[in-house]
Amino acid sequence: MLTHFRRAVSLSMASTDMPVWSKIETTATLYQRERDRYHLLITEPRISEPALFGISEPDEMRLIWMELSPDRVVMTMQGNGNLSYRHYWENGKSGINRYWIQQDTIAHSHQLQLRNFTHSIELHNPSFPSELHLDYELWSAHTRMGRYIMQLRIES
């Protein structure tokens, strides 16, 4: 049975070997899909970002959708801006990270695909998640692009 709960969340991402760090604090809706499987819909607060790939993101809200389970995490960001992404992590396996860069016409839009290797997924209290700890490496072909830690806290 589908149930949902409105919760305060904190989502942070940091690199263990580069000066990369990001954190958002906002509210989200947690949907229980089945036993130990949840969907989390986060409305990212309005932000103004510097140009990425020469494209400025407008000051708009974006949606982050996450599928949470003890063995797999999927995260998709969609917005009215120029950048979208989808990450797929599975415990102890390689996954895919895709980025879409939108421009004025479809002919000028681009897709970037990277690989990841997930060292660990720790979903605390999978019967009603309170915290997610995700440790992974990001790769482009044979080049390692860093190791990252994603931390999600869901207030009860």
Whole-number pLDDT of residue 71: 94
| Better-scored residue on pLDDT, 129 or 82 | 129
Q: What is the mean pLDDT of residues 133-139?
A: 97
Binned at pLDDT 50, 70 and 90, residue 122 comes out as very high
User: Token pair for residue 126?
Assistant: 């999978």
Supply the DSSP symbol for 144. Answer: E
pLDDT at 11 over 80: yes
Domain coordinates in residue numbering, the chain: 3-154
Cα–Cα distance for residue pair 76/60, rounded to 1 Å: 16
Cα–Cα distance for residue pair 60/137, rounded to 1 Å: 29
**Using an 8 Å Cβ cutoff, are 132 and 149 in contact?**
no
pLDDT at 1 over 50: no
Domain 3-154's class? mainly beta
Please tell me the pTM assigned to this model: 0.83
pLDDT at 34 over 60: yes
Binned at pLDDT 50, 70 and 90, residue 48 comes out as low
Whole-number pLDDT of residue 107: 62
Q: What is the mean pLDDT of residues 3-15?
A: 89
